[in-house]
């Protein structure tokens, strides 16, 4: 009995060891760092990032970047389709010029451009220089002033097209697959405008809209590189939905991407703080008051981890640096 009492008294009066000074210094340093990043994140965070449509767009971006789920293999196809839509006026202008001005010298010029597109268009400066050189040698052989003006405008349109990231590549693909009906791009652009006006969360209605114009999308299949097993209305609906959301939320996503960058920097000191606190629990150590303080930035971290995690599968569509 006496021994039991002595043991109890010893435990009651036994002093817990203090956290080593160096550990406390590191903890407080990391708390300072996490506070700086949290303040920056709070200044970027916005209510618009919590919208259902925006969060769906973030999930799409995640899947496309990693080539997973329904978006596997669609990243480049979407870029080509969007590029074709954005440059449609240039393609239509080139097509109309080729159709309207068809003297032998003009056709020779078009064929020269087509041969360049088939062999060397990636060096845009060299491509434009060779086209300009060919134009100079061709103009004196064109009889009418109207014809000369048309070729100059054609060359100017090629230069404008080269300003688009995939402009010349797409023109090369159009020529390779002999799709001369560029009006399909206007049709798809009109469909996209309808997508932008509609509630883009309603995926089923977008599929129906694609089905109503499906023959137009099939004409672009090879040009934008859609695989045979992906060649179906659902695929094109996803692609158009994504492009529509890009136009609607592109600027907001750029801000959200900046928030993610800050939170990835925030995550490193955050993990260090958690590790220290786990190694030195209150039950075993006498803790400085800083060890009980809330960690700044956790609210933002928890908010987006929750909103971008699939409730059924538990899969998270956001990377704060904790998904190694």
What are 42-93's pLDDT values in tens digits? 999 999 999 999 999 999 999 999 999 999 999 999 999 999 999 999 999 9
Determine contact, residues 242/64, Cβ cutoff 8 Å. yes
**Model confidence pLDDT, tens digit, residues 114-162:** 999 988 788 999 999 999 999 999 999 999 999 999 999 999 999 999 9
**Model confidence pLDDT, tens digit, residues 149-161:** 999 999 999 999 9
Percentage, residues of the chain above pLDDT 90: 80
Determine contact, residues 94/239, Cβ cutoff 8 Å. no
CA distance 158 to 110: 11
* Residue 105 vs residue 121, higher pLDDT: 105
**Residue 206 included in any domain:** no
Domain end call among 107, 128, 163: 163
> Taking 50 as the threshold, does the pLDDT of residue 324 lie above it?
no
The sign of the dihedral angle between the CA atoms of 36, 40, 43, 49 is negative
Distances (CA, A) of 294 to 255, 278, 290: 26, 15, 9
Which of 26, 11, 31 lies closest to 292, judged by CA? 31
**Residue 199 included in any domain:** no
Domain end call among 130, 163, 196: 163
Tell me the two tokens of residue 99: 């159709």
List 316's β-bridge partners, or say none.
Answer: 309
Residue 321 pLDDT: 78
**Residue 78 included in any domain:** no
CA 271 to chain centre: 28
Tell me the two tokens of residue 168: 């010349």
Residues 104 and 147 in one domain: yes
- Per-residue pLDDT averaged across 259-271, rounded? 97
Residue 157 pLDDT: 96
CA distance 80 to 2: 85
**Residue 71 included in any domain:** no
Determine contact, residues 93/132, Cβ cutoff 8 Å. no
| DSSP string of 16-78, one letter each residue | PPBPPHHHHHHHHHHHHHHHHHHHHHHHH--GGGG-HHHHHHHHHHHHHHHT-GGGTT-HHHH
- Per-residue pLDDT averaged across 188-212, rounded? 84
Distances (CA, A) of 76 to 35, 178, 192: 39, 21, 18
| Residue count of the chain | 324
- Per-residue pLDDT averaged across 206-232, rounded? 93
Distances (CA, A) of 313 to 50, 66, 308: 20, 18, 12
- Per-residue pLDDT averaged across 239-260, rounded? 95
Domain end call among 142, 163, 184: 163
Using DSSP's 3-state secondary structure scheme, residue 161 falls into: helix
**Residue 4 included in any domain:** no
Kindly state the DSSP code that residue 290 receives in the 8-state scheme: G
**Residue 228 included in any domain:** no
Please give the backbone phi and psi of residue 301, each rounded to the nearest 5 degrees, phi first.
-60, -50
> Taking 60 as the threshold, does the pLDDT of residue 308 lie above it?
yes
> Taking 60 as the threshold, does the pLDDT of residue 5 lie above it?
no
- Per-residue pLDDT averaged across 200-218, rounded? 88
In terms of residue numbers, what domain contains 116? 88-163
CA distance 49 to 31: 26
> Taking 70 as the threshold, does the pLDDT of residue 12 lie above it?
no
Residue 9 pLDDT: 46
**Residue 123 included in any domain:** yes
- Arithmetic mean of pLDDT over the chain: 91
What's the structural domain count of the chain? 2
Using DSSP's 3-state secondary structure scheme, residue 246 falls into: helix
Residue 231 pLDDT: 95
Tell me the two tokens of residue 324: 């190694």
Residues 99 and 147 in one domain: yes
**Residue 149 included in any domain:** yes
CA distance 189 to 195: 10
Tell me the two tokens of residue 44: 């970027």
């Amino acid at each position: 009995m006496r021994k039991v009492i002595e043991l109890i008294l010893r435990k009651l009066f036994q002093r817990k060891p203090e956290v080593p000074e160096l550990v406390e210094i590191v903890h407080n340093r990391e708390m300072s760092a996490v506070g700086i990043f949290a303040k920056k994140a709070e200044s970027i965070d916005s209510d618009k990032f919590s919208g259902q449509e925006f969060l769906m767009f973030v999930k799409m971006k995640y899947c496309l970047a990693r080539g997973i789920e329904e978006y596997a293999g669609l990243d480049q196809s979407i870029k080509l389709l969007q590029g074709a839509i954005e440059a449609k006026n240039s393609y239509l202008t080139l097509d109309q010029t080729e159709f309207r001005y068809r003297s032998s010298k003009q056709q020779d010029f078009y064929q020269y451009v087509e041969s360049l597109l088939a062999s060397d268009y990636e060096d845009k400066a060299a491509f434009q220089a060779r086209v300009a050189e060919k134009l100079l040698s061709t103009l004196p052989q064109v009889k009418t002033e109207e014809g000369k003006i048309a070729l100059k405008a054609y060359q100017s349109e090629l230069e404008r097209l080269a300003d688009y990231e995939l402009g010349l590549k797409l023109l090369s693909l159009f020529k390779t697959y002999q799709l001369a009906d560029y009006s399909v791009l206007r049709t798809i652009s009109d469909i996209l405008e309808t997508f932008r006006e509609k509630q883009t969360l309603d995926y089923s209605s977008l599929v129906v809209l694609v089905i109503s114009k499906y023959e137009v999308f099939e004409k672009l299949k090879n040009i934008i590189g859609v695989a045979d097993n992906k060649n179906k209305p659902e695929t094109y609906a996803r692609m158009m939905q994504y492009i529509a959301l890009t136009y609607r939320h592109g600027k907001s996503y750029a801000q959200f991407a900046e928030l993610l960058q800050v939170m990835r920097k925030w995550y490193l000191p955050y993990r260090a703080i958690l590790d220290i606190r786990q190694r030195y629990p209150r039950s075993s150590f006498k803790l400085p008051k800083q060890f009980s303080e809330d960690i700044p930035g956790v609210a933002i971290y928890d908010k987006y981890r929750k909103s971008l995690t699939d409730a059924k599968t538990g899969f998270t569509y956001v990377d704060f640096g904790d998904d190694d």
